[in-house]
Amino acid sequence: MVLFLMIGGCTTIEISESDAFDPHVTISADQFPIHSYTLHDLKIETEDNETLDAWFLEREGANKTIIYYGGNGFLMMKSRPLINAYADLPVHLLMIDYRGYGRSTGEPTVDGVKTDAKAAYQLAKNNLPVEPGPIYVHGHSMGSFLATYIADSVDVAGYILESPITDVDSWTKRLVPALLRPFVRFDIEDSIKAQNNIEPVKRIKEPLLIIGGEQDEITPFRMAEELHEKSPSREKSLVRIENGNHNDLPTFSAYKSSLIDFFGDN
């Protein structure tokens, strides 16, 4: 491979907004029974007139609300492991399908999903069927950018960053072995390249839980370590899931235990 690249010259890999999202159309909530919760199938109107599909999982006796921002391939219909991980906690759970995903209208863009993130927060703050209590945000992978984006615009009680990305430039460099970097360039659309978790994490003083997988080759655990180090929060914890990969962390008992510990302390 090295010889091939040297002979062929530099290779440019283009990354555009369309590459950053993986939308799917899905079936409805009534075909996906959820135990331990009362499921409210909601619609959210965004400030730019898109309609988002949302699930609010109400739990009797809950005293907190978690807004979950999934990764670029997340769909509410694929959330069973996440729901199971939260099932024994006294929390409500709010999830959305980003624009262009599931039954939500529109096409996903960076600015668009940021607008979706704000709309979800406003719903949690002002329009849930029950009193939300303190609001926490939980972002996985791409969703970690949305969780820290919220950090700069609204008040939340705490943050969970799962398989987070430090910044797009560092992430793309780590996708290519050091030996090959002189031969591979990334042509990244500006809207994607600008995404950065390092600076907003430096401003997070609220309780912070960062979770990563030992075997994650998409967002290596050292990214989680770097973000943990950058946060000035006095109530922060870093959890490394042994044998965990990028998308399977909610299936591990250590993941559920980390949530129990985090919310038990907060």
Q: Which tens digit of pLDDT belongs to each residue from 124-163?
A: 999 999 999 999 999 999 899 899 988 778 889 999 999 9
CA atoms of 98 and 115, how far apart (whole Å): 10
The fraction of the chain above a pLDDT of 90, given in percent, is 62
Whether residue 68 has pLDDT greater than 70: yes
For residue 15, name the pLDDT band (cuts at 50, 70, 90).
very low
87-101 pLDDT, tens digit each: 989 999 999 999 999
pLDDT at site 19: 53
Whole-number Cα distances in Å, 221 to 42, 140, 171, 233, 246:
35, 13, 12, 19, 10
79: left (phi over 0), alpha (psi -120 to 50) or beta: alpha
Whether residue 166 has pLDDT greater than 60: yes
Cβ 139 vs Cβ 146: under 8 Å: yes
Give the three-state DSSP class for 9: coil
For residue 174, name the pLDDT band (cuts at 50, 70, 90).
low
Whether residue 6 has pLDDT greater than 60: no
For residue 18, name the pLDDT band (cuts at 50, 70, 90).
low
Whole-number Cα distances in Å, 226 to 125, 193, 209, 210, 220:
31, 19, 13, 10, 11
pTM of the model: 0.84
Mean confidence (pLDDT) of the chain? 83
CA atoms of 1 and 3, how far apart (whole Å): 5
pLDDT at site 24: 62
Whether residue 172 has pLDDT greater than 60: no
For residue 226, name the pLDDT band (cuts at 50, 70, 90).
very high
Secondary-structure percent of the chain, ordered helix, strand, coil, rounded to 5: 35, 25, 40
For residue 34, name the pLDDT band (cuts at 50, 70, 90).
confident
Whether residue 3 has pLDDT greater than 60: no
What average pLDDT score do residues 169-186 get? 44
pLDDT at site 65: 98
Q: What is the DSSP code string of 154-187?
A: S--SEEEEES--SBHHHHHHHHS-GGGGGGEEEE
CA atoms of 129 and 115, how far apart (whole Å): 22
Whole-number Cα distances in Å, 36 to 79, 89, 91, 93:
15, 10, 11, 12
Whether residue 46 has pLDDT greater than 60: yes
Whether residue 12 has pLDDT greater than 90: no
- Could you give phi then psi for residue 239, rounded to 5 degrees? -120, 125
